[in-house]
Amino acid sequence: MKAIQVGLLGLGTVGSGVVTIIKEHQDKLMHLVGCPVEVRKVLVREKEKERQVVVEESLLTTDPYEVITDENIDVIIEVMGGIEHTRQYLLDAVNEKKQVVTANKDLMAVYGSELLAAATENGCDLFYEASVAGGIPILRSLVDGLASDRIHKMMGIVNGTTNFILTKMSKHGSAYADVLKEAQELGYAESDPTADVEGIDAARKMAILARLGFSMNVDLDDVSVKGISTVTDEDISYSKRLGYTMKLIGIAQRENGRIEVSVEPALLPDYHPLAAVNDEYNAVYVYGEAVGETMFYGPGAGSLPTATAVVSDLVGVMKNMRLGVNGRSAVSPQYDKQLKYADEISAQQFLRIHVKDEVGSFAKITSLFSERGVSFEKILQLPLKQSGNAEIVIVTHHATKKDFTEILEQLKSLDVVDEVKSTYRVEGNGN
């Protein structure tokens, strides 16, 4: 029985996991697809480097085109990362009629539409389950499990590094800089953590989720992004006092055919299921018209969890090969992309401001909100020692993004306001 031959681009953390699973789960793969799976060629930077997994030296190459153009290779698995060069490699791979599996969310967020179109044109599959939330099968669930439903909202924790940092800050009162350093030492954060802590990594994943969930060509530039680097222990302390937990939340929402996609630190009620997702774990909450609310939870990164998603995609590709239907599963976007305007985006808001501790200060502030019909759900007012100021913490009822932005601008120019310290979206209150 002819084995299916795999070419691997990359042999780092995930690539090593892929090789391990293919070796150790060969009986399972045989049972699922009816033939063996063999790794034929592996692209590496250095052949002599010591690795997490043993691979015969004869299989290693430093030339990507030894993998891409090998006539015996059926499936290319890309786990090397990068965008521009990797895009060209995968375009060349599908032009060589290779099936493709990738774990590259950066690539798929930027060039996903182009790559999927090229794969379909060449009669090839391009699967990318591992690009979002590691070992959680969220993309397959959207495409297959919830295919008959109409998704109107997806909200989740899709970056393990920031979730680890915010968990430590919340549970142990640790400072942001100290927890970031710990995350780097543990390998959860890169030496340059910008993509994680500024929300860029999560934004790429939300663009992919929104593209699939809403069947629109959503681009990375369509995602509004705010990271966690400015979050303070005071912000977290006050949010806890009001019954909230802070998380970096990705939100994709559709109403009346128009969508909003964002990534930002947000406050969730302590009773919300996402508030209990701690450390490096990920979770995605999906709201469907028919199914209601579902949540997908699990490890968002790591060698074997992510490799499991990669090899699951490989199984899907191999099943299609056996049936002769490769390249037929991709579906073009059903809807034209329409983004919400600022006056169509509505949410509750957390606001922390320092004001002059004098008679009439609070009245001036409340009048700005009441003029736009924005009311308060929760209020804390505390004196600030040695400054003559007071700190006011407010959680509003729903306000449009347009109204809240204008209120903030007016607050900053108000004579009784010393400083607007922070603002955060509040989600999951059920209203």
State the number of CA atoms in the 13 A half-sphere of 404 facing the CB: 25
Is 205 part of the annotated catalytic residue set?
yes
Q: What is the per-residue pLDDT for 430?
A: 63
pLDDT tens readout for residues 279-334: 989 999 999 999 999 999 988 777 788 899 999 999 999 999 988 998 887 777 88
Residue of 247, 221, 83 whose CA lies nearest to 159: 247
Give me the catalytic one of 168, 205, 340, 401.
205
Name the burial class of residue 258, with classes exposed (0-12), middle (13-18) and buried (19+) by CB atoms within 10 angstroms of its CB.
middle
Domains and CATH numbers, the chain: 4-134+303-323 (3.40.50.720), 138-299 (3.30.360.10), 342-426 (3.30.70.260)
Residue 405, CB half-sphere, CA atoms under 13 Å: how many? 8
Given a cut of 50, the residues of the chain with pLDDT beneath it are: 431
Q: Give strand ranges (E) for 320-430.
A: 346-356, 376-383, 389-396, 399-400, 417-426
Q: What is the pLDDT of residue 1?
A: 64
117-170: pLDDT as tens digits: 999 999 999 999 888 877 788 888 888 888 888 999 999 999 999 999 999 999
Give the DSSP H or E segment for 6: strand 4-9
**Tokens 């028919």 found at:** 290
CB 4 within 8 A of CB 318: yes
Q: Is 391 helix (H, G, I), strand (E, B) or coil?
A: strand
Output the pLDDT for position 254: 96
Whether 159 and 196 have beta carbons less than 8 Å apart is answered as: yes
Q: What is the mean pLDDT of the chain?
A: 92
